Amino acid sequence: MKIESVDFFYVSMPEVLDIGDGSQDALLVRISAGGNEGWGECEASPLTSIASYVCPMSHSACKPVKYSLEGERIESVNDIYRISNLVHENSLDLLQADHTLSGIDTALWDLFGKMTGEPVYRLLGYNKANPKVPYASQLFGDTPQESFDKALKSKTDGYKAVKFGWGPFGTKGLKADIEQLHAVREGLGKDILLMVDAGTVWNGKVDQARERLAALKSVDVFWLEEPFRNLYLEDYKSLSESTPKIDIAGGEGCTNFAQAQAMIKYAGIKFIQIDVGRVGGISAAKQVADLALVSNVFYVNHTFTSHLALSASLQPYAGIKDYTICEYPVELKPLAKEITKTSILPDEDGYINVPDKPGLGVEIDTQSVKKYLINTEIKIGGERVYITPDI
């Protein structure tokens, strides 16, 4: 069976704010074959990713992503891996290719799951999907009081784990950070797991990150996430060996398996966080989860967009019982909530369960997609090479 069409839908909130919130826009991918449709989502600049699919060839290792996809056969999971390898071969020097491939690869898994009637996690080799403990992922408030209020709400909502990140943390000095940390711990109480995401704020400044360790320890932080940018291996390693000891998490910026492999092997991290919408899709993410399993590193999903992306992010480690934690964003913009008819909600015991339906088990709300759709046209030399398709 051949791939018949690959379509992109650029959706956006009417206003995109300069904040660390990835739910303000999205690029959805729809792939059709044999009367079935698969959907995926890229966690990347939508317009840039569309351009990488249709751009002219620069040379033999810099071809548009479509060169590796259109007309290809999809008859087994091996074809999904084969297409991923084709993209890496043909678009080696096209740096946006992995971001674009991420949504495509996810859509191919969703498509093949629907073709075969199997959930993606089973296609990946798992017999069952284990429940995960969702951590309520959110931004620090502008003030300690706002952060306290958010923490108290998460506690009231029944979450067993909570993460605060970005916002003013790390930007206003040590005293301000200590006030934020104590505010969220006070709001949560002592029994709820607390994670902190520094949003790469101390990049190249290990000493500043190290200054926060005692404060983080004092509020019993479960992990410190992304103190530095992706692949700053020596900085990560140095901080991981500092005292007092705080477990370090990172990896959401990885755009291929090799980057994640380097983080696992050389950064001293305890938790590898992988975004299926960035790393090359479900195929690459599963490879990372397998490596983490034999490396004494815990795999955790990264996601901060729709529930389509949430389902995709859970599949690569759904069947690994010891990997119990999952990111669960609780401050999504309306776009991210509305573009799917399916919501993955905590059950009565507070756990997240992977959908047990064919593919990703998530239905797209096409009317909501139309509501947020940014009609896009790309011309090269006066010739149109892309226009938003019908949905």
C-alpha count within 13 angstroms, C-beta hemisphere, residue 357: 10
Q: Report how far residue 326's alpha carbon sits from residue 352's, in angstroms, rounded to the nearest whole number.
A: 8
Determine the 3-state secondary structure of 102 from DSSP: helix
Q: Give yes or no for a contact between 111 and 33, defined as CB atoms under 8 angstroms apart.
A: yes
Q: Would you state the pLDDT for residue 20? A: 86
Confidence of residue 384 (pLDDT cuts 50, 70, 90): very high
Q: Which residues contact 175 (CB under 8 A, 6 or more apart)?
A: none
pLDDT at 196 over 90: yes
pLDDT in tens, 280-301: 999 999 999 999 999 999 999 9
Burial track 128-137 (b if 16+ CB lie within 10 A, e otherwise): ebbbbbbbbb
pLDDT at 221 over 90: yes
Percent over 90 (pLDDT), the chain: 97
Among 155, 189, 148, 132, CA closest to 328: 132
DSSP string, 230-295: TT-HHHHHHHHTSSS---EEE-TT--SHHHHHHHHHHS--SEEEE-HHHHTSHHHHHHHHHHHHTT
Summarize the confidence of residues 171-181 as an average pLDDT.
97
Element (H or E) spanning 30, and its range?
strand 25-33
Q: Which residues contact 374 (CB under 8 A, 6 or more apart)?
A: 10, 11, 12, 25, 46, 388
The answer, yes or no, to whether the previous bond of 355 is cis (omega within 30 of 0) is no
pLDDT in tens, 19-51: 888 899 999 999 999 999 999 999 989 999 999
Q: Give yes or no for a contact between 114 and 37, defined as CB atoms under 8 angstroms apart.
A: yes
Strand stretches in 119-265, DSSP E: 133-139, 161-165, 193-197, 221-225, 248-250
Q: Would you state the pLDDT for residue 377? A: 97
Q: How far apart are the first and last CA of the chain?
A: 22
The residues that bridge with 299 in the sheet, in sequence order, are 272
Tell me the average pLDDT of the chain: 97
pTM beyond 0.95: the answer is yes
Q: Would you state the pLDDT for residue 323? A: 95
User: Could you tell me how far CA 301 lies from the centroid of its own chain?
Assistant: 7
Provide the pairing of β-strand 298-301 with 325-329.
unpaired
Both structure tokens of 229: 């940018």
Work out the number of other CB atoms within 10 angstroms of the CB of residue 143. 15
Please give the domain boundaries of the chain with CATH numbers for all domains.
5-119+365-387 (3.30.390.10), 123-338 (3.20.20.120)
C-alpha count within 13 angstroms, C-beta hemisphere, residue 297: 27
Q: Give yes or no for a contact between 249 and 275, defined as CB atoms under 8 angstroms apart.
A: no
Q: Would you state the pLDDT for residue 182? A: 98
pLDDT in tens, 228-259: 999 999 999 999 999 999 999 999 999 999 99
pLDDT at 17 over 90: yes
Determine the 3-state secondary structure of 109 from DSSP: helix
pLDDT in tens, 97-106: 999 999 999 9
Q: Would you state the pLDDT for residue 6? A: 97
Confidence of residue 381 (pLDDT cuts 50, 70, 90): very high
Amino acid residing at 26:
A
